[in-house]
Structure formats: C-alpha cells, structure tokens
Amino acid sequence: MKEQKVSAKNKAALFLVATPIGNLSEFSPRAVSVLKEVDVLACEDTRNTLKLLSHFDIHTRMITYHNFNEESSTKGIMNLLEEGKSVALVSDAGYPLISDPGYELVSEVIKGGYDIITVSGPNAALNALVASGLKTSHYLFFGFLNSRQSQARKELEELKEFPYTLIFYEAPHRILKTLKLCHEVLGDRKAVIARELTKLHEEYIRGTLSELLKLEEVKGEIVLLIEGREEVKTKTDLEELKKEVDALVKKGYKTKEAISEVAAAHGISKNHLYDHYHKK
C-alpha cells in the first residue's frame, strides 16, 4: 500500500492538466498558473499546444510525449523529476490519459514516489453525458472502439449486457460504420451524437440508432452515447415477446433467427429470450 499526501513543499511533481476541448475560455486560472510555473511541459503535439500557450502568454519549455515515444519520454521525465524539476502533462484536448497516452508515465511516477497532482478541466465525455438525455446515474466510458470491425464487434458483444449508458469517442470518417455495427450488435436503442462540443458548431443529434443511420455525414469531434440494455422485468413482457417470435416463425423465420430479431429489436439478451421461449 502506498499513501500519497500532496505537499506544496515537494517541487518535483507531475501535474496532469486538462486542456480546453474547444473553447479556450474554459481554461482555468489555476491551469494557466500551473503551466507557467512548472519547469517542463510534456505534450502530444507541440504545434497544437503552442496555440494554447501563445493565447495565455505561457513560455514554458515543451517536450513531446505521445504514443510513439512513450517509453523513451517516460524515462526522460523520470530523470527530470529526479533532478527536482516539476513537469506538467497535457493532451491536445481534454484530460491526459483519457483515450490519450500517459498511463505508463503515471505508473512510473507512482513507483518513484513522486507527487501526482490533477488540475481539473473540460471533458468531452461528461459534457456529452449530462446533456444527452440518457441516464446519468450509471455510465460506462469506453473511448474508441477498435478500428478493425471484427474486433469492434467483439468489444460491443462484451458491452451489450451492461445496463449503463455507453459512451464512445469516434472519428467522423468512421461514425456511420460504427452506428451500423452498434445497431447490429446492440439492437435499436436510444442514442445521441454530440459533436464539436464547446465550439462554434456544437450540436446534439438525438434519436435511435436506426434514425441516426439515416445521416449522410457527420463532421467534427464526436462523442457517441447509447442507452444501456433495458431488462425485460416481468413474465408478461416475455410472453409478449414470445408472441412476436411466433409471428416471425409463421412468416418463415427459423426459431433461432426470430429470437435474435426480436431480442435485437428490444435491446435484450437473446439468450434470456431463448431460455424463456423454450421453457416448458
């Protein structure tokens, strides 16, 4: 067990600083102060971070820390901490480590016994969640699905039984394929696309997955939210679904196919419906 008591007397520390996801006015005075006072600023892309620093008249020395140099940069930052230097880690937008690199560094800093100090700020997932209209009491943030469709399908299969609002990040060129895959695996659930949050063209598109599939194009930074699985709670509900299965069977569906169709349409477990359907 390790206990960390953050102390202002310890100069050698790692600051995890959340940066604006669009609107620069959301950058807090504390965050500006920290970036001005630390010895070194580690960032994903110095070109993007320079825009932020220039806006707030910050002149701290920058080094790169991203997916492709994470191991070597972690060693370099640990050397800086050993020298008594303070370091701030930022991503291009939002919180470091949230669908961005930094886990390896934080793990090493903890092992080294140095302080880790978080500086709060904007987060696209939470912004989207509270304005989505979907349940907020419990939610599961997943981030980006695998870029390979076969792997993404497996990930969704693992998530489909969760009764929590699901939150994903997605790129605009992949969003329509992702919506189609989500509809196939999860069924036709309520869903929300939140795009360009805090920016000039901020927009929420609310509907069902089948309705969102009618979109021709979605631009900008995207958060996709999908309602969790709804439990069929009563035997009466299951009996009604059983009737729907029977109706499809009469139309020529095989029983297994009919059960899958009805389960997907209602966003419930096909195994649960299968067991009830064949229960004597």
Residue 204 lies in a domain: yes
Higher-scoring residue by pLDDT: 118, 274? 118
Domain holding 202, by residue range, is: 125-226
- Residue at token pair 């998530």: 159
User: Among 91-100, 155-164, 195-204, 234-243, where is mean pLDDT lowest?
Assistant: 234-243
Output the pTM of the full model: 0.81
For the chain, the average pLDDT equals 92
pLDDT number for residue 240: 86
pLDDT number for residue 273: 85
Q: Which of 95, 121, 147 is the last residue of a domain?
A: 121
Is the same domain home to 150 and 172?
A: yes
Is the same domain home to 108 and 143?
A: no
CATH number, position 213: 3.30.950.10
How many distinct structural domains can be found in the chain?
Answer: 3
Residue 8 lies in a domain: no
Distance CA 213, CA 181 (A): 10
Give residue-wise pLDDT tens across range 256-269.
989 988 888 887 77
Residue 62 lies in a domain: yes
Q: Which of 121, 144, 170 is the last residue of a domain?
A: 121
Is the same domain home to 18 and 109?
A: yes
Give the E-state strand segments of the chain in sequence order.
Answer: 13-17, 40-43, 61-64, 87-89, 115-119, 139-144, 165-170, 190-195, 203-208, 222-226
Helix axes 175-186, 149-159, angle to 10 degrees: 40
Give residue-wise pLDDT tens across range 50-105.
999 999 999 999 999 988 888 999 999 999 999 999 999 999 999 999 999 999 99
Is the same domain home to 209 and 254?
A: no
pLDDT number for residue 126: 97
Is the same domain home to 44 and 81?
A: yes
Residues β-bridged to residue 115: 13
pLDDT number for residue 276: 81
Segment 240-245 shows an average pLDDT of 89
pLDDT number for residue 233: 53
Residue 3 lies in a domain: no
Q: Which of 103, 121, 139 is the last residue of a domain?
A: 121
